[in-house]
Structure 1
Amino acid sequence: MKVTTLTVLAAALLSVAAPAALAESRLGFVNSDRVMREAAPAVRAQQRLEKEFEKRDQELQRLGKELQALQEDLERNGVTMAEADRRNKERSFNDLNRDFQRKQREFREDLNQRRNEELASVLDRANRAVKQIAEAEKYDVILQEAVYASPRIDITDKVIKALADSK
């Protein structure tokens, strides 16, 4: 009997105390995707990546056009070509295609690796900015992922501004 009474009393106290404690808590939300798109360090990182990989991207585009031209030539003139010429063109096409595929794969791998490095740096700075805002404004919890967050608790603009100010 005593255990049941104590359990009911504890449940009643928790149901009264929990909402009160929750009401005193300060909650914030940061849209990480928006920070990674709009924050100055993220924009600069994207520009660095574009500049760094621009020549390789242009080379891949040139190879792609060359490959397409070779394929069109084979389709258009393959029937009328001498057997040896057609085989040489097909071999040339296959070699160029293999080279193109390899370079494209290496390009994607290198780009992904560099993007991950750059974004890790931006994410680290963003997390430091979030922590500074949380400490300065006395937040208890700041969430980065949510199905829905009220604009009232969204501090994304503050984080973007803090990152722009920190350079």
Structure 2
Amino acid sequence: MTNYRRYRIEGGCYFFTVNLAERKRQLLVEHIGLLRAAFREVMVAHPFKVEAVVVLPDHLHTIWTLPEDDTDFSLRWRQIKSAFSRGLVKNDRISASRARKQERGIWQRRFWEHAIRDSNDFQRHVDYIHYNPVKHGYVGQVTDWPYSSFHRFVHLGYLPVDWAGGAAEGDDLELE
């Protein structure tokens, strides 16, 4: 088994991508209330700040900032995935390997993280998050996707409601 090394910074700010195991399922938007409840539950026990987020049918992207003395984002993801999974009806197909490990087979086992380096890196990732539903063809404009922190950014005056309204796929909103 591969030994993954995670770059951990106390109080760090991270961009994450987390996927369902079966990418054709739409569990995350079909059960958005359950996902929100899982986030809230974990945030009470293990605080973190959600800087930006977008939830798509089969995956999500988010930026978190951890408390100053904390590096354990893996614990938080494990608990969020577990809380969400516990709330779903048990009708998913699972492999023998997942059954041995008492996993449901809803989530991909791993997630992708990137430590945010500076304010430009942060802004690029926020833009990527907010533009993602357009990139995947779910909506024509960022404002039309309901499961995004974009609406909070508009409410707070950080972005105009028509932000990226005329951007074509690939216009400075892709991450390398």
User: TM-score band, normalised by the shorter chain?
Assistant: under 0.3
Computing the radius of gyration over CA atoms, which structure comes out larger, 1 or 2?
Answer: 1
Q: When the two structures are superposed, what TM-score results if normalisation uses the length of structure 1? A: 0.22
Bigger share in helix: 1
Structure ranking higher on relative contact order (CA contacts 8 Å, 6+ apart): 1
TM norm structure 2: 0.21
Task: Give the structure with the larger strand fraction.
Answer: 2
